[in-house]
Structure 1
Amino acid sequence: MNLLIVIMTFLMMEGLTWCIHKYIMHGFLWHLHRDHHDHSSEGAVEKNDYFFLIFAVPTIVLMYYGTINGFNLWFYVALGISLYGMAYFFVHDIIIHQRIKFLRNTKNPYLLAIRRAHKQHHKHLGKEDGECFGFLWVPMKYFRMYFKNDKL
């Protein structure tokens, strides 16, 4: 049952991430997310990187309350959120934005589609008119766009 809670939380995070990205990061917290789109910050850290802390603090609190009297539901929810956060870091920062030069020349169709979808998202420099706000789920049109351009 605990494994199911972790898996369900991980999967639900994709929908939550889409909503947070579209309505919060491209909404009232755009001032923190903007430099991720227009690359206006200098150095390795962007204001956008503060979202790591914004998302980590509630997860840490959940993990704490989930271990006060043994492991309970909140611990496993926090574990699912943490695993999603690790996946996000690995895919977004390492594979997509290549902050660490790893898998740079991948031929994996899924990873190429994620890169393409993210590139489509970043073609919009303003907070309006965005597209593809999700993270791990890639609409089929991004696979088709890639194959249509004969880049494989």
Structure 2
Amino acid sequence: MMLFLVVTILTFVLMECVTWLTHKYVMHGFMWYFHEDHHQPRYNHVFERNDVFFIIFAIPSILLFYFGLEGGLNYRFFIGLGILFYGIAYFLIHDVLIHQRFKWFKKTKNKYLVSLRKAHKVHHKHLGKEHGECFGMLWVPLKYFKV
């Protein structure tokens, strides 16, 4: 059972790398059409085209849950669990804390969360798909911890 916990945690950590690569090369690349409205919001809708990425990332997790139950619980289930946990963290950090799509955590003085907001704000200063920076979600470069 300890191995399954390690697989889940390792998957969660590796998802930050997957997110960084996907954000930089896919969202700011050939799938910019879906991500553009996130950088240049024009409408006051509940959903953005950018929300399609939640579905794209959920599909592997769902499939891994399904195949992870074949013949009893196996490692694929726990990889899917790590992806799910990262998706929940991403939603809470990105959509709730940073962009305030839901007004749950309006004010925080936590140094890590404030630094994370700063890094994301720098990412959004670029309205186009070029010249972006800070593509990750949970890892914050040290320079953003400085006041």
TM-score by length of 2: 0.96
User: 5+ unaligned residues in a row in structure 1: which ranges?
Assistant: 148-152
Task: Give 2:17's aligned residue.
Answer: 15
Q: How many Å apart are 1:77 and its aligned residue?
A: 0.4
Task: Give 1:123's aligned residue.
Answer: 125
Provide the identity percentage: 55
Mapped to 2, the partners of 1:58 and 1:9 lie a distance apart of: 12
Deviations 1:106-149 (A, max 9, x none): 111111001100000000000000000000000011111xx1xx
1:36 pairs, out of 32, 35, 38, with 38
Q: How many Å apart are 1:99 and its aligned residue?
A: 1.2
Task: Give 1:101's aligned residue.
Answer: 103
Q: How many Å apart are 1:73 and its aligned residue?
A: 1.1
Q: How many Å apart are 1:41 and its aligned residue?
A: 3.7
Task: Give 1:150's aligned residue.
Answer: none
Which region of structure 1 is more displaced relative to structure 2, 64-73 or 120-129?
64-73
Task: Give 1:79's aligned residue.
Answer: 81
SS in 2 for 1:10: helix
Task: Give 2:59's aligned residue.
Answer: 57
Mapped to 1, the partners of 2:87 and 2:56 lie a distance apart of: 12
Task: Give 2:92's aligned residue.
Answer: 90
User: 5+ unaligned residues in a row in structure 2: which ranges?
Assistant: none
Could you tell me which amino acid in structure 2 is paired with residue 97 of structure 1?
Answer: H
Deviations 1:70-122 (A, max 9, x none): 11111010000000000000111110011111221111111100110000000
Task: Give 1:133's aligned residue.
Answer: 135
Q: Aligned-pair RMSD on alpha carbons?
A: 0.8
Mapped to 1, the partners of 2:52 and 2:18 lie a distance apart of: 18
Q: How many Å apart are 1:45 and its aligned residue?
A: 0.7
Mapped to 2, the partners of 1:100 and 1:42 lie a distance apart of: 13
Mapped to 2, the partners of 1:50 and 1:17 lie a distance apart of: 14
Equivalent pairs counted in the alignment come to 145
